[in-house]
Amino acid sequence: MPKALVLAGTRSGCGKTSVALGLMRALARRGLRVQPFKAGPDFIDPGLHAAAAGRDSHNLDTWMMPPDALRSCFARAAAGADVVLVEGVMGLFDGRGGGRTGDDEEGSTAHLAKLLGLPVALVLDASSQARSAAAVALGFASFDPQLPLAGVLLNRIASPRHETLLRQALATLAPLADVPLLGCLPRAEGLGLASRHLGLVTADDITELDARLEALADWVEQGVDVPALLSALPELDAARLAPPAAEQVASGKRCGTVRIGLARDRAFCFTYAENLRLLEQAGAEIVPFSPLADAALPDGLHGLYLPGGYPELAASALAANTTMLASVRAFCDSGQPVWAECGGFMYLQRALVDAEGREHALCGVLPGRAVMRARRAALGYRQAQTLAPGPLGPAGTTLRGHEFHYSELEQPHADNAAFTLTASDGNTTRDGAATHNVIGGYFHAHLSSNPDAARAFVEACASGARGRRPLDPRQRA
C-alpha cells in the first residue's frame, strides 16, 4: 500500500508549493512512484506537480466534488503509487468562506484530510519569529482535535542560531510532544517560483523548469531527513483504494465514440483531468490542438472544448493565426457543439484588449470585447445554473465550479446569458453567452458535480448539426 501525506500551510505564501515540489522531486528521483494531488480548484499547481513527479496531478475539492466522486478520483489515481502527496490550499483551515460562516470547513485542506483519513504536515513560515513559531504550531495542533498533525516543517530559517532557537521553543512546549519537528528549511532567495496575476507561472512558461525542480529537491533534502520522513508515514488503508461502491456516473447508455477538439497549449492549459475522464467515459475521444501553433482544427471533430488559460499573454500570436481563427468560426457556424470556459470564452469574442490597452482581433464568434483590468474582476466558488437548453443539458442544469479572472466583458447586448452564478455569500450574477450550439462564460465547471452534463455534451456532439440551429453570423454586432 502507498504511503500518504498532506502538505498544508499556515497561510497562502508560506512556501508550501515549493516544499511540495521539492519533496515530490526528491522522492521521484529515488525511483519511487509519486502520485500528486492538489486540494482546491487551482489549475497551475497540478501542472507543476506533474513535472516534478512524472505523473498527472488531480484536483480534490470537497465543495466542487461530491464525496463519492472525490474518493473515486483519489482511489483511481493513487492505485499503484508508492507515495501519495497532496498539496493543500491557502491555510490549513481556510475553505469556501466567502462571507458565509466562520465555522464552514468545506473546500479546506483540513476537510479533505479528514474525508480521506490522511496525515497532515504543516508548513510554517518561521521568518522573523522564534518562540512565537511554537505558539502558532500549538494553535494549529489544537484547533481541530479530529485532525492530528503528523508534524511541522519550519520554512525560511535565517541562520543556524535561528534554527536552534526554534528547535528549543518547540521542544519546551509539552503539548507539542506528539507533533514532531519534521525539518527546518533554510531561507533560499531566488529559489521560489515566479507569480503573475492568476498565481504562479505555469509549467509551460518556466525556463529550465527541470533544473529549478532539482534545486528545490536539493533544498528540501538539506532541511528534511527524507528517508526518515517517508519511513514514519503510515500506509494508506486498503479501503481507501478499493473501487467505490457508488461512483457517480451518468445514466443511460454510453455514446459511440465522438471526437472532441480540446484547445491545449500555453494559452489554454486550465483543464481538470477529471473533466476529460468523464467526457471519455461518456464516449468522447479527446483530440488536443493548439490555437497558437496549428493552422486549423483537426479533421473529423464533432465538438469543441475551449478551456481557460492565459490568452491575454499570447493575444498577438492568437490574433496572428488567422487561419485557426477562421477554422474555429466555421466550426461554430456549422452548428456543432462548442463549450468555452474563461480564456476559451475570451477567445471566441470579437476582440481582446490586453493590459497595455492594445486591441487584438480574435474569433468574432461572439460580439463582445474582453478587456483586461488592473484589479481582479472575480474570484470564488460558484454554483451555476444554465438559463437555456444547450450542449450541457436542459435549462436549469446545475454545476459547481469557480470563477477567477481579471478581464471584464464589454458587449453590445447581454440578453443571452448562459448561467446564473451563485457565490458563497449568496449573491447571484449572470455569466457568459448561450447561442444555440455555443455555450461559454467565465465560469469553470467541475463535471463531477453533475456527470450528466458530461454525457449531455457528448450526446450533443454525437447528434452533430442534425436538428440543431447553428450560430447566426448576423448576431456578431
By annotation, the residues acting in catalysis are: 342
3-state secondary structure of 382: strand
Q: Is the dihedral of CA 25, 26, 32, 34 positive or negative?
A: negative
Q: CB–CB of 91/9 below 8 Å?
A: yes
CB neighbours of residue 158 within 10 Å? 14
Q: Give the alpha-carbon dihedral of 417, 471, 282, 40, to 10 degrees.
A: -30
> In this structure, which amino acid lies at residue 472?
D
> Of 440, 437, 377, whose CA–CA distance to 197 is shortest?
377
Tell the residue number behind the cell numbers 489549475, with chain if given.
43
Beta strands in 71-126 (DSSP E): 83-87, 120-125
> Of 6, 53, 316, whose CA–CA distance to 203 is shortest?
53
Q: Identify the DSSP state of 197.
A: T
Beta strand pairing status for 438-441 and 195-196? unpaired
CB neighbour burial string for 243-278, b if at least 16 within 10 angstroms, e if fewer: ebeebbbbeeeebeebebbbbbbbbbbbbbebbbbb
> In this structure, which amino acid lies at residue 190?
G
Q: CB–CB of 439/338 below 8 Å?
A: yes
- Determine the Cα–Cα distance for residues 221 and 238; give it in Å rounded to an integer: 30
Helix, strand and coil content of the chain, in percent to the nearest 5, comes to 30, 25, 40
Beta strand pairing status for 284-289 and 258-263? parallel
- Determine the Cα–Cα distance for residues 41 and 209; give it in Å rounded to an integer: 23
**Helix-helix angle 209-223:44-53, to 10 degrees:** 80
**Residue 303 in grid coordinates:** 465538438
Q: Sort residue 122 into left (φ over 0), alpha (ψ -120 to 50) or beta.
A: beta
User: How far, rounded to the nearest angstrom, does the alpha carbon of residue 165 sit from its chain's CA centroid?
Assistant: 38
Kindly report the backbone phi and psi dihedral angles of residue 121, in degrees, each rounded to the nearest multiple of 5, phi listed first: -105, 130
User: How far, rounded to the nearest angstrom, does the alpha carbon of residue 420 sit from its chain's CA centroid?
Assistant: 22
